[in-house]
Amino acid sequence: MGRLIRTRGLPATRFASQYRLNSGRAACSQLRTEETLSDGEGASSSGDGHSRFEVAIQKQGGLLKGILGYGNPMPVRGSRSSYSGVGQPRLQIEQARSFSAEANGEEQREVMEYDVVIVGGGPAGLGAAIRLKQLCQEKGRELSVCVVEKAPEVGAHILSGNVYEPRALTELFPDWKDQDAPIGVPVTDDKFWFLFEKRAVPLPSPFNNQGNYVISLSQLVRWLGAKAEELGVEVYPGFAASEVLYENNRVVGIATNDMGIAKDGSKKSNFQRGMELKGRLTLFGEGCRGSLSETIIKKYQLREQAQALHQTYALGIKEVWEIEESKHRPGYVLHTVGWPLDYKTYGGSFLYHMDNRQVAIGLVVALDYKNPYLSPYEEYQRFKQHPSIRPTLEGGKVIQYGARTLNEGGFQSIPKTAFPGGALLGDSAGFLNVPKIKGSHTALKSGMLAAEAAFQALGESEQPSMEAYWAALQQSWVWQELRSVRNIRPV
């Protein structure tokens, strides 16, 4: 568990009034956060006389900041467990270091330390966090793990509507069916059409979605987030990791961004310095083209090290519609190629019937299109007017929409996933199976593999290495699966 042993923060009552929390919410914060505090040294009272309640409130205040948009009230220093394992003294007070910001006369950033810091609360990041804590339980060891997620809530930046392959989830939670996982609609029908402007020609489906489910990935990710918290992971939504921290050419954590900066760059009255979250290992599960992951790939030349090619991308536009009951066929899955895209443009559409009269519909357009006037958004609008698509949507309404990039390079573009001090997970490394348009199962599995390697390495060295993850990945079904489709759309 994360151990918060010192604070220089606000007394609880002042905090509550400053951040406009009502007492009920403050009490909830206390209850929820106290569960994550250890009973060991320093947990009951901080070194400077503040109570455990205050520490808990401050920490939760950080969480609320993201949700409520308030400044960061989290001036705490953490500690981390020793790599030497079970029952060893774990607490270690470290002085916050001097940073260049301080030298410039700016406020110093506060520091929290963990064994593992995970960036991104998607399937990959949460899979890693959960597996680490499961291993802690199995082996009787204590590791502090935190996840920072830039969305105001876990799952809020995940686009709903997904055909889900449960293989990795079954490995993580063999009894997920008994644990109320939000996976209830098996694929019942799997169609594949070639579209001309006025008609659709059915083709044999290459997808083989038997045994898969039509789900809301955002709900599944929320469920994973709750599971992670139950196991003792500290999950912080509302925090974007904006900077990688290095020491001696090794990644030692991340910093969150400063808050309350005006458009002209000046500090507003609610200015708050970001925080430094330091980890003996830092895992990056930021999704496709993660900003920090990309800097790391460049810095350590991870593509060159794996003799990988560059990455390529597509744009996926997706909407969730609520449609008329009579048209709803839970478990029905449709993919199309052809119109409205021309033969020089790679892409296709999908339409998945979820539960509650909802369908997820979208168009994926590879971003190497040749026609400079092509607009993926306009093509998507045209697609919905197709005579074989429009009738499903008529009488319905859009309830969610969004767009995201996807990795399209596939197997040939996978960089080395281990670097000094950490690793890349999921779409940050490019584990999307392009012809299937599926990456949530490979993302989850990669997180689990990284966790297993991290758990082992943290017990062996003060400066653990993630090389074993890179090796395990190449022996895993993720590698086999991506290798088997490597020539579908090579870079």
Ligand X SMILES: Cc1cc2nc3c(=O)[nH]c(=O)nc-3n(C[C@H](O)[C@H](O)[C@H](O)COP(=O)(O)OP(=O)(O)OC[C@H]3O[C@@H](n4cnc5c(N)ncnc54)[C@H](O)[C@@H]3O)c2cc1C
Binders in 300-319 for ligand X, by CB under 6 A = 316, 318
* Near ligand X by CB under 6 A: residue from 116, 158, 169, 320: 158
Query: If binding is defined by CB under 6 A, does position 330 make contact with ligand X?
Result: no
Site string for ligand X, 374-413 (x = CB under 6 A): ------------------------------x-x-------
Q: For residue 213, what are the β-bridge partners?
A: 164, 186
Amino acid in position 184: G
* Near ligand X by CB under 6 A: residue from 75, 122, 225, 340: 122
Nearest to 122 by CA among 453, 443, 338: 443
Pairing of strands 347-353, 332-338: antiparallel
265 Cβ contact list (under 8 Å, min separation 6): none
* Near ligand X by CB under 6 A: residue from 78, 120, 253, 430: 120
User: In the chain, count of helices (H) and strands (E)?
Assistant: 15, 21
346 Cβ contact list (under 8 Å, min separation 6): 314, 365, 366, 368, 369, 408, 489
Site string for ligand X, 225-254 (x = CB under 6 A): ---------------xx-------------
Query: If binding is defined by CB under 6 A, does position 277 make contact with ligand X?
Result: no
Pairing of strands 189-195, 332-338: parallel
Nearest to 386 by CA among 112, 219, 201: 201
Query: If binding is defined by CB under 6 A, does position 348 make contact with ligand X?
Result: no
* Near ligand X by CB under 6 A: residue from 62, 123, 340, 464: 123
Cα separation, 234 vs 229, whole angstroms: 6
Can you point out the beta strands (E) in 323-357? 332-338, 347-353
Binders in 406-425 for ligand X, by CB under 6 A = 406
* Near ligand X by CB under 6 A: residue from 65, 131, 150, 386: 150
Is the Cβ of residue 63 or residue 292 nearer to ligand X in the bound state?
Answer: 292
Handedness of CA 95, 465, 289, 319 (dihedral sign): negative
Query: If binding is defined by CB under 6 A, does position 438 make contact with ligand X?
Result: yes
Is the Cβ of residue 53 or residue 246 nearer to ligand X in the bound state?
Answer: 246
Q: Tell me, by CB under 6 A, how many residues bind ligand X.
A: 42
Query: If binding is defined by CB under 6 A, does position 285 make contact with ligand X?
Result: yes
Cα separation, 362 vs 357, whole angstroms: 17
Query: If binding is defined by CB under 6 A, does position 426 make contact with ligand X?
Result: yes
Amino acid in position 302: L
Binders in 185-204 for ligand X, by CB under 6 A = none
Q: Which stretch binds ligand X (CB under 6 A): 132-140, 203-211, 340-348, 432-440?
A: 432-440
Q: Which stretch binds ligand X (CB under 6 A): 97-105, 143-151, 192-200, 377-385?
A: 143-151
Burial of 459 (0-12, 13-18, 19+ CB in 10 A): middle
* Near ligand X by CB under 6 A: residue from 162, 272, 413, 417: 162
Query: If binding is defined by CB under 6 A, does position 166 make contact with ligand X?
Result: no
Query: If binding is defined by CB under 6 A, does position 450 make contact with ligand X?
Result: no
Cα separation, 430 vs 407, whole angstroms: 6
Write down the residue that tokens 């994926």 correspond to.
Answer: 364
Burial of 118 (0-12, 13-18, 19+ CB in 10 A): buried
Is the Cβ of residue 16 or residue 275 nearer to ligand X in the bound state?
Answer: 275
Query: If binding is defined by CB under 6 A, does position 443 make contact with ligand X?
Result: yes
Query: If binding is defined by CB under 6 A, does position 75 make contact with ligand X?
Result: no
Query: Which parts of this chain interact with ligand X (CB under 6 A)?
Result: 119-125, 148-151, 157-159, 162-164, 217, 240-241, 285-287, 290-292, 316, 318, 362, 364, 404, 406, 426-428, 432, 437-441, 443
